[in-house]
A and B are shown apart, each in its own frame.
Chain A
């Protein structure tokens, strides 16, 4: 069999002739945002359609023409998912036109600093010129990828030192409702940079199902941190159409892939909040009467999430990269919730927010013990960050785990039952949370620490423990630590600004 031959040229020509438009008036039924349409001969799965409503009563073009996408074809009938809500739609008079194309996103440098809606159209009231290309929102399969590489510096010690985020890695920010996950994500995105590389990240922020307050917060954070002109915000608010919510991350990723793999930028995609996205999936799935899986979510959710999460990484021979940060709200702090669970299996790590630390007023409230960065070793160590990065992180973690265990014991036996070393561990635990994890600056600003400052902080809190307890660290390092400890006597002083 030869592969270059076009076996069904005739069929294809028949379908793709653009001389006249093909369409149907046979809307058989409407449920929510789904239409069931008859007589759509030759319509492709995934094809874009336009719905023309009643020309007489429509007050504006927007109300008159609406877009949707073909979800499923079955014999003569096809299922169309509308991107707009269509109240007042009449089955008899409306026409569904085939667009002979899939959903595409206009991309170009002109998108920088703009706000788009979930469909990729400008949503900031200004018109958009200078688009360079239109790419399918579904994306193209990437070639063979190379593993994540190069540490990212966010200025947050608990990340940079202990759960290093690496270029091309996908991380999730996992926390219960009421924890400032969105705010932290926005700040992490705004401050992330690759040390030694010119220019910061280009930030693509996909906000899905967020409230107006959260949207304002994101815009405000970006403005304050001066990120606006190197960011694209894809905004789907809580009151925007649900179907558009499913498209929003795809639009964001298409834009990201364009900037990364065509233009060579290091792109950071923030997706907030995946729970809302999955709820939208569930809503559409229920409308289609699919058999539900765990928690009522569709059984295909794993594949659907994978479709998003896998659009990331570095490609051999291309300077750009796509790095992802997904915000996931775990309802009732339940990390085994389907969305958190499936994402956990698909992503390269998770940063867990801790309600207890949040209540103590520690910002950012990262639970270092439960957090994990699977790609960390690819970005740290000799020649990348500093030689003792791994052992230092391990030492901090093991000491902190012991400190938390000691706290539990204290709750049971009281202070009297603890040895001197045990008490030191308690002291270390508090110092670690307050001075190492917590880095609240003035006026709820996040203090920025360079990696060297984070390292200094780490030694500072470790000095609470006797040297014999630091069994993860090699002797030479300990000697250095003692030397530093003698040189800088102050314990919790503000580190100098960069």
Chain B
């Protein structure tokens, strides 16, 4: 241990929280090392290096300090030593994070034995970097200015910037272009003697500064067409994915992390299943998006349920800090957290150990303010270097027992601009994503509509309105046709409906029974069928559906679906039966696979379909005559 660190002594141990006494002046959230294992070291977490545990100060009362620990406290005894490092938990930001798996403290999980120190852990054991200077000696540089670049992976150009803490001054010396720079090596000396390296240290709980906040005006295309069309998310916004057990939250978030149109994804596994990380790594290593393996643009921070509960708290801050670091380079970064409910539970557990007076549902009263200040770290901004960068936050919420009124979900939803709710019934019917259309919402629609109209065509608002109308009409029809209104999305059962309800008997039935019965007109039946088609072709997607869906393609498909609807309805108006075919769904779906613009192909198909329909009608008429 370093000699200048202040010391303290353990006085109490309770689960992941220890109490210590010290004569020094500890700081709130100061990083500490705890030593004091009294027992056989084999009994102690090998990950925490025998008897040394990292921790963070969470409460100070006079000389008594409460510390949350990031490891197993088994074997810690009163009298054990605590070392106060004088710094907050921090991370060495620099090249080498993309594709890595980190734990909540920023230590690389691939090489758990060769850990760095607590400050600036997470120097993944990486090769040397190729540095290309962009500034010259004598140039005056301010925080956020570009010093040079490093190629990270095959395609990512990592911009090395002057850290936010220094003042504008001249460069005294800058390293020449070369292949063999380590992260910590000095690559630039400023006039005042400050040495800068590829990596810069940053305290994870402190937001990185920006020059100005920018309004949210661009849509973030997530690749999930249902979300993008009906409940769009803005770049720099906050989205909540909420759903009970088994509604596919994790899969939805994974598919968002895979498909969303951003430069860097930070995926924070917070309190989830340990096996998920392994699965996700495997999938992300194999899948590609626009020719780039997904893993190369993703950083994984895992504080899964197999790890100590307290580590979930620094985990989400680490994820945010990493995203902010890439934002400062002018990137669009997305933080995906699965899930913040688990983080809130960790706060509750620690709060409980600290014997704090609980707020609603036993959660600490400061949950709301912590969550707010966390969410506010996202957003679109003009960086110190004058670029436009953003951090978008997509977070999961898992309400206990599927009860959305519980405090964490409600707090989370009040901070989120887009809420994507998932429905259990749909999930059980294996619809993916199991989006609850009735109760999801987005507050960004207005803000992003201009940009969307530019990308997708001026008729985009109409198309969206059309989609919303037909889906809600179908739901109404279905609800009124069934006796008990269902919360589920109606088109699920539309086909059931279609095949099991005898259209001839239905009117008879309606006259025999009380109100609320089914007497579906030909047009209603078509609406149900068409809504189901839209659901199958447009809304439903595989988890790893990485077709390069962009607003223009989605708009083209919607236009086609709308045109189809119009054509068929014009037939219906003539009082003729619609010969809708199930195979038409497959044909429509096949259009997605065509590369590039499929508008012309779509038109051809529609013409063919209409001709066939007309031919069948003529045949029907002849039979009738």
Contact = CB atoms under 8 A, between A and B. Distances in A.
A8 interface: yes
B430 A394 contact: yes
Contacts of A293: 348, 361-362
A97 B254 CA distance: 51
Contact of A348 (B78, B245, B273): B273
A336 interface: yes
A41 B505 contact: no
B623 interface: no
Interface of B is mostly: mixed
Contacts of A6: 50-51
A471 B73 CA distance: 56
A144 B110 contact: yes
Contacts of B403: 336
Interface stretch (B31-39, B144-152, B368-376, B409-417): B31-39
A347 B246 CA distance: 10
Interface string B39-57: 1101101110111100000
Contact of A11 (B11, B12, B36, B274): B36
A44 B582 contact: no
Interface in A1-37: 1, 3, 5-8, 11-12, 15-16
Contact of A3 (B14, B110, B115): B115
B352 A422 contact: no
A350 B183 CA distance: 46
Contacts of A44: 37-39, 74-77
Contacts, number: 238
Interface stretch (A199-207, A240-248, A270-278, A408-416): A408-416
B73 A46 contact: yes
A52 B38 CA distance: 22
A302 B272 CA distance: 11
A45 B401 contact: no
Contact of A74 (B19, B36, B79): B19
Interface string A37-81: 000011111110000000000000000000000001111100000
Interface residues of B, number: 84
B348 A370 contact: no
A5 B12 CA distance: 25
Interface stretch (B301-309, B323-331, B445-453): B301-309
Interface in A131-145: 136, 138, 140-145
Contact of B496 (A292, A402, A412, A413): A402
Interface residues of A, number: 89
Given A72-B12, A344-B246, A416-B505, A15 B77 contact: yes
Given A1-B2, A12-B51, A44-B77, A422 B500 contact: yes
Given A75-B11, A100-B39, A397 B76 contact: no
A139 to B, nearest CB: 10
Contacts of B81: 7-8, 11
A401 B45 CA distance: 48
Interface of A is mostly: mixed
Nearest to A169: B275
A79 to B, nearest CB: 9
A346 B305 contact: yes
B535 interface: no
A284 B79 CA distance: 27
Contacts of B582: 471
Contacts of B110: 144
A406 interface: yes
A486 interface: no
Contacts of B73: 45-46
Given A72-B12, A73-B13, A100-B38, A138 B72 contact: yes
Contact of B38 (A15, A290, A405): A15
A398 B10 CA distance: 59
A425 B400 CA distance: 36
A175 interface: no
B400 A7 contact: no
Contacts of B401: 294, 336-338, 341
B282 interface: yes
Given A140-B46, A422-B501, A350 B246 contact: yes
B306 A338 contact: no
Contact of B275 (A3, A148, A292, A402): A148
A147 B282 contact: yes
Given A291-B352, A417-B502, A47 B428 contact: no
Contacts of B513: 413
Given A8-B51, A369-B428, A401-B429, A299 B398 contact: no
Contacts of A290: 352
Contacts of A136: 42-43
A494 B74 CA distance: 56
A386 to B, nearest CB: 20
A144 B349 contact: no
Contact of A306 (B36, B38, B77, B306): B306
B493 interface: yes
B506 interface: yes
B362 A299 contact: yes
Contacts of B273: 310, 346-348
A471 B495 CA distance: 11
A469 interface: yes
Contacts of B42: 136
A102 to B, nearest CB: 4
B494 to A, nearest CB: 11
B1 interface: yes
* Across the A-B interface, the 10 shortest Cβ-Cβ residue pairs: A422-B500, A306-B305, A336-B401, A310-B306, A46-B74, A344-B245, A419-B502, A45-B13, A15-B38, A74-B12
Given A41-B79, A136-B43, 8 more contacts: A1-B1, A8-B51, A11-B79, A169-B275, A336-B402, A412-B483, A419-B500, A421-B499
25 contacts: A1-B117, A7-B52, A8-B80, A11-B79, A43-B77, A44-B38, A45-B14, A47-B39, A47-B77, A73-B13, A73-B77, A101-B39, A102-B39, A102-B43, A141-B46, A142-B306, A146-B278, A294-B401, A299-B345, A300-B352, A310-B304, A313-B274, A378-B279, A409-B500, A422-B500
